[in-house]
């Protein structure tokens, strides 16, 4: 669900202080976009929303979520936004967010 090697690599690359800021910004931006997707799954905007979410998630190691967003983005790009499995994407994000926050300190300690 979470690519902890990616998370550790990012933290090592930018340093612990900047990493904390990246997490804060990521969660704010993605939570806002998720709320918009949940409340207004406008088919004409699904592709762009999923593209944004995919890139953000991949950067911070949300592997399963990013893959679902990529799949949904491809479907939306091919004219099938209703096939993007928005409910599953939202569910996997919620589970990934919880797993990420619960495991962050333990996985990156030391």
Give tens-digit pLDDT for 8-22: 999 999 999 999 999
Per-residue three-class SS string for the chain? CCCHHHHHHHHHHHCHHHHHHHHHHHHHHHHHHHHHHHHCCCCCCHHHHHHHHHHHHHHCCCHHHHHHHHHHHHHHHCCCHHHCCHHHHHHHHHHHHHHHHHHHHHHHCC
Per-residue pLDDT for 110 more than 70?
no
Ordered by start, the domain boundaries in the chain are 4-108
pTM above 0.85, yes or no: yes
Residue range 44-80, pLDDT digits in tens: 999 999 999 999 999 999 999 999 999 999 999 999 9
What pLDDT was estimated at residue 109? Answer: 67
Give me the CATH code for the 4-108 domain, please.
1.20.120.160
């Amino acid at each position: 669900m979470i690519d902890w090697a990616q998370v550790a690599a990012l933290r090592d690359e930018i340093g612990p202080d900047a990493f904390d800021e990246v997490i804060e910004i990521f969660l704010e931006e993605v939570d806002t976009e998720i709320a918009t997707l949940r409340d207004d799954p406008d088919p004409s905007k699904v592709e762009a929303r999923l593209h944004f979410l995919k890139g953000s998630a991949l950067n911070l190691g949300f592997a399963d979520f990013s893959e679902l967003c990529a799949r949904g983005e491809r479907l939306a790009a091919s004219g099938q936004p209703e096939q993007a499995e928005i409910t599953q994407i939202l569910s996997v994000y919620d589970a990934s967010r919880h797993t990420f926050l619960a495991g962050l300190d333990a996985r990156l300690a030391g």
